[in-house]
Every structure is written in C-alpha cells, then in structure tokens.
Structure 1
C-alpha cells in the first residue's frame, strides 16, 4: 500500500512539474518587433491569419449559398418542368447526341414521337432527369443547338405535401384506435361497424400514400418536354407546271385514281361480306324455293276452283236461258192467238159496216 501511494505521488509531481515548465516557456517566448498586443492578449499575426481565413470563406460564399439553396429546394418539394424548342441542321446527329447526354446524366426518355413531312422532320421527347442534374442537362442541351428556346417552370407542392403528411398521421392514429376497439369489441354488430369504418380509413390512407409517392417521384425527377426539328429545303417551283394542258391531265388522272380507288374499296367490301352472303344464300334459297312451291300449289288449287265455279255458272246460265226460251215461245203462241182473234173481230166489224151501208 505504501509503495502504491509513493508511486502515485511521484506521477502526480512529475505531471505538475511538466505543466509549470510549459507555462514558463510560453511566457518567455520573444514577441516580434512589428507585432502589437491587443487588449485580449492576441497579436496582429493572429488577426492577419483571421483575415486570410475570411477571404477564403468569402471566395466560397457563392458555393455555400448555392448549396443552401439546393437544400432548401429539396426540403420545399418543388416540381420542375422545362419546355424546349430546338432547331437543328442535322436531325439524326442531334438526336444521337441528345440520347447520349440524357444517358450520361442518369436520366431516361419516357416518351418519343417522330413525324416527317416534305418541309420538316421533327421529334418530340419527354425526358425524366434527377432534380440535381436538371440545370446541368439544360446547359448541355444548349450545346447541341445554341438557338434553343427554353421555358422553365416550378411548382411548389410543399404545402400540399405537409397537409398530406398531417392527414396521413391523423388517419393512421384513427386506424390504430379502430384496431384497438376491434380487439376489445365483443359484439358482432360492433365488430362489423368497426371493420366498415376501418376499411374506409385504410382506403383513405392508401390514397394519401399514393399521392405522396407521386409528389416524391415528380420532385425527385424533373420533366423536360423537348421538340427537335429540322427544316427541309422546299422543292423548286416549275413555272411551266401549272399550264392548262397539265391541269386537264391532272384532273383526268385524279378522276381515274378516284374510280380505281372506288373499285378497290368495292372489291374489299364485297370480299369482306362474301362469307355472310354465302351463309345467307344457304339459308334463304331453300326457304325461297319451298315457299315458291307452296304458292304455286295454292295458285293451281285456286285456278281449279275458279274453273269449276265458272263451269257451274255456265251451266246455270244455260239452264236459265232454256227456261226463258220456253217461256217466250208460250208467250208468243198466246199473243199470236190473241192477234188472230182481234183480226177476226176487226174483219167481222168491217163486214157488218159494209152491210149496213148497203141497206
């Protein structure tokens, strides 16, 4: 024990002695002739060092401000979108360079449409690029076409994002409460009510999460709508092209083309409906033949009936005419007898008259 105390005391004394020597050497160090001690014990050299540090800090102040602005943009949830119009001289070369720049920047082409006409060839690109590479890619695209026109817009969705976050937390709290209520519920109607309400809350939670994911993706990846086009040289105009003869020839050619187009269309239509026509013919023709036979049979029966009726009518008429002829003969005989009696009476009258005259 005594040895341990002695050793500890020796170590402590040696440490104290070393501290005293260091303080003494620092106090006795020489001061430069052109140095002036300040009120707080610091010399002019330390002031110069501080000024140099301030200069270097001032040189990097711009970068620090840009970095702070970038951090602020990330925290503020801003969606960037750019619309670019890029006229080029060589469309294919410019398109290849565009694809290389997009791939090198870590972006990708979401949509692409190309159109070609006699006067112009153009392509429309929808590019998705990380928000940190957005400005850099715009500057690189300008190297393809210095006359490129750009329009950059930013949409701040921070307020909506904060609102969605708050709503999500509130809905998740309600979900937890409903789950706890369901664990404690003992009646089936209570369980049904809690489960129905829980389904509605969970549906709202999924909708909010989907909207937040959409905003996160659009904030993380900016959108560039780019239209690249190359104007072609128009064909030379021939002054002798639009003569009267050429107009007649063009009109005749156009009419022939129209007729041929109509005939081609007619053939195509007939070819397309030919299977249907064959099917209809297979069904309709036998039905038509059967109906025609039935109608022919009915017509023959009607003709026979009509002929029979006509013959019967002729017989009746002949019989009636015979009866009328016999009646007429009887009447004629009676009338002739009456006429003879009347003539006889007249003759008798005349004879009597003549006798009276003679007397």
Structure 2
C-alpha cells in the first residue's frame, strides 16, 4: 500500500516537473523570437540616404529664401537703378567737339562703347555719335558739361529702370543655393556607397550651375547700375544767310550784291569748264568747217557761172 502511494506521488511529481520544464522552454523560445524580431527590425531600419536629406534641404530652402528676402528688403537702402541718357546737340566745330567729348569721358573715369562719324555731304554738315559708360554718381554732371559745350541742345532725355527687387531676389536665391551646396559637400564627404556618391555629384553640379547663373546675372545688374549709358549725337551748325524779313535795306543790298557776284563767278566757271572740257570737239568741228569752206571755194573758182 505504501509502495503504491510512493509511486503515485512520484508520478505526480514527475508530471509537475515536466510541466514546469515545458513552460520554461516555451518562455525561452518566445524570448529568443522577440530578440530575433528586434534584430531584424534593426537591420531593416536603415538610415536616411543623402539624397533624401538633400530633398528635405531643398524643401526647406524656399522658406528660408522668403525670410531672408524680407529681411534684405527691409535692411537694404542702396537701390539698383539702370540709367540711360540720350543727347542731340549742335556744335560750332564738329572735329574739336568730338575729340573733347571723348577726352571728357576719360576724365570722368568712363569709357567709350561705340563711336561713329559721318562726313559732310551736299546740304548735310559733318556729324557723329558717341555711346559712353559713365559712373552713375557723375553722369548728370557729364551731361551738363556736354550741353554747356554745345551751341544748341536739340533734345535731351534720361530714363531709369529700378532693378532693386530683382537684385534682392537674386541675393536671397544665391544664399539658399549656397546653403544647399554646403550640405551636399558634407554629404559627399560622408558617402560610402558609389551610387550615393554619384547621385550627390549630379545634384551638386546642378546647384553649382544655378549659382553661376545667379552670380552672372547679379554682376550684370551691378555693372549696368554702377555705370550709366550716355548716347550723344552731335552735328555741326549749318551756315545759312539770314532771312529776308530780318534784313534792312543795306543788308539786302549787300546780300543781293553777293548773290550777283556769286552768280557771275558760277556762270564764268561753268562757261570755262564747258569750253575747256569740250575744246577737242570744238577743234574738230572747226577743222571740218574750214575744209568744207575751202572745198566749196575752190570748186566755185574752177566752175565759174
């Protein structure tokens, strides 16, 4: 009887021990599975690629552009204005005035962009045109100097184009592009994969090309606004006789006398040119007339009536 009880207790104890061991194994397997899953999740979760960070940088750039542009518009007091001036003047002596204007351009630290001259023709006096770039701070003084040196100002005009807003926008865009360029250079130093390095290089080349275009446009606007363009057309005064209504009797007499002399000189000159220019023709006609006369005369002597 005691043996049976002992066997029964041993059987119950073995069942309990077996159950406990199974529970421990299941909990151990679950723990291992959780660790494996967590390790797999760690492997799957890769860090962001440089191109993705570059995209984020580009998305954040416009916001920075707007903020910087507003700040620059508020703080920038120097305006960028492109001035163009046109002058049409008459001078007493074309050659000396043309040379003087070119010398004055050099004195104002400017330079001549284009120049041309036209010789005198019948009814048209000598004339010419000069296009010069003059520092904006002095170009109005230069215009006044040219007008004072001329005998008559036919017309004068000055126009300006304000490009301040465009210049400020270019400055803002340049600043944001330089920030993106700096980030791309940092990504390139950290890149380990060849494909990431190629992608960053392409993006960097695009950004640097845009920076060059912006800088080129800014330099153009700076040059145009720092130096005004002045175009001068000058011609020599026409020398003409005073009108009839403005002359008194003595002046009318002198005018008519001069006209008569001019007519006689012109007529004599025309006759002289006609005679000398056709002297060979006159000689030929004279010889023919002389031979004809001699032939007729001899014929009459040989055959009297």
SS state at 2:106 partner: helix
Residue of structure 1 aligned with 2:101, choices 81, 95, 98: 98
Query: Aligned equivalents of 2:120 and 2:145: distance in 1?
Result: 29
2:132 counterpart residue number: 127
Query: Aligned equivalents of 2:76 and 2:114: distance in 1?
Result: 27
Equivalent residues, number: 172
Instruction: Give the number of the structure with larger relative contact order, counting CA–CA contacts within 8 Å between residues 6 or more apart.
Output: 2
SS state at 2:192 partner: coil
Query: Aligned equivalents of 2:195 and 2:179: distance in 1?
Result: 23
- Residue pair 2:89, 2:233 contacting (<8 A) in 1 also: yes
Residues 1:73 and 1:195: Cα distance change in structure 2 (over 3 Å):
closer
2:187 counterpart residue number: 181
Question: How far apart are 1:146 and its partner, in Å?
Answer: 4.9
Residues 1:192 and 1:73: Cα distance change in structure 2 (over 3 Å):
closer
- Residue pair 1:175, 1:201 contacting (<8 A) in 2 also: yes
Query: Aligned equivalents of 1:73 and 1:190: distance in 2?
Result: 40
RMSD after superposition? 2.9
Residue of structure 2 aligned with 1:140, choices 125, 137, 145: 145
2:214 counterpart residue number: 208
- Residue pair 1:172, 1:205 contacting (<8 A) in 2 also: yes
Question: How far apart are 1:232 and its partner, in Å?
Answer: 5.2
1:79 counterpart residue number: 82
- Residue pair 2:113, 2:132 contacting (<8 A) in 1 also: yes
- Residue pair 1:121, 1:232 contacting (<8 A) in 2 also: no
**1:220 aligns to 2:223 (yes or no):** no
- Residue pair 1:98, 1:141 contacting (<8 A) in 2 also: yes
Residue of structure 1 aligned with 2:116, choices 113, 116, 123: 113
1:290 counterpart residue number: none
- Residue pair 2:82, 2:160 contacting (<8 A) in 1 also: yes
1:318 counterpart residue number: none
Residue of structure 2 aligned with 1:198, choices 204, 215, 219: 204
Query: Aligned equivalents of 1:223 and 1:114: distance in 2?
Result: 19
Question: How far apart are 1:184 and its partner, in Å?
Answer: 1.3
SS state at 2:92 partner: coil
CA deviations on 1:52-83 (whole Å, 9 max, x unpaired) are xxxxxxxxxxxxxxxxxxxx997011111101
Residues 1:175 and 1:181: Cα distance change in structure 2 (over 3 Å):
same
Query: Aligned equivalents of 2:95 and 2:139: distance in 1?
Result: 24
Query: Aligned equivalents of 1:74 and 1:174: distance in 2?
Result: 28
Query: Aligned equivalents of 1:146 and 1:155: distance in 2?
Result: 31
Greater Cα offset, 76-85 or 138-147:
138-147
Question: How far apart are 1:101 and its partner, in Å?
Answer: 2.2
Q: Which runs of 5+ in 1 are unaligned?
A: 1-71, 240-245, 247-359
* Higher Rg: 1
